[in-house]
Amino acid sequence: MVKKTRSSQRREEALSRDRIIEASIALLDHSGESGLTFRTLSERLATGPGALYWHIVNKSDLTTAACDAIVARTLEAPQVGATPKAAIRTLALGMFDAIDAHPWVGSALTRAPGQAPMVRILEGIGQQVRALGVPGDAQWAAASALLNYILGVSGQNAANAQFARAHDLDRSNFLESVSTAWSQLDPDEYPFTRSVAGQLRAHDDRADFLAGIDLILSGIGSPLAQ
| pLDDT tens-digit map of 31-46 | 988 899 989 999 999 8
Q: Does any domain span residue 35?
A: yes
Higher-scoring residue by pLDDT: 52, 92 = 92
Per-residue confidence at 213, pLDDT binned at 50, 70, 90? very high
Q: Does any domain span residue 65?
A: no
Q: Does any domain span residue 64?
A: no
Residues 88 and 46 in one domain: no
Q: Does any domain span residue 70?
A: no
CATH code of the domain containing 83? 1.10.357.10
pTM: predicted TM-score of the whole model, two decimal places: 0.84
State how far the Cα of 124 lies from the Cα of 142, in Å rounded to an integer: 13
Q: Does any domain span residue 214?
A: yes
Higher-scoring residue by pLDDT: 165, 158 = 158
Residues 91 and 163 in one domain: yes
Domain range enclosing 118? 77-225
Q: How far is CA 81 from CA 65, 78, 146, 156, in A?
A: 31, 9, 21, 32
Residues 183 and 83 in one domain: yes
Of the listed ranges 99-108, 130-139, 158-167, the least confidently predicted one is 158-167
State how far the Cα of 219 lies from the Cα of 130, in Å rounded to an integer: 15
Residues 195 and 95 in one domain: yes
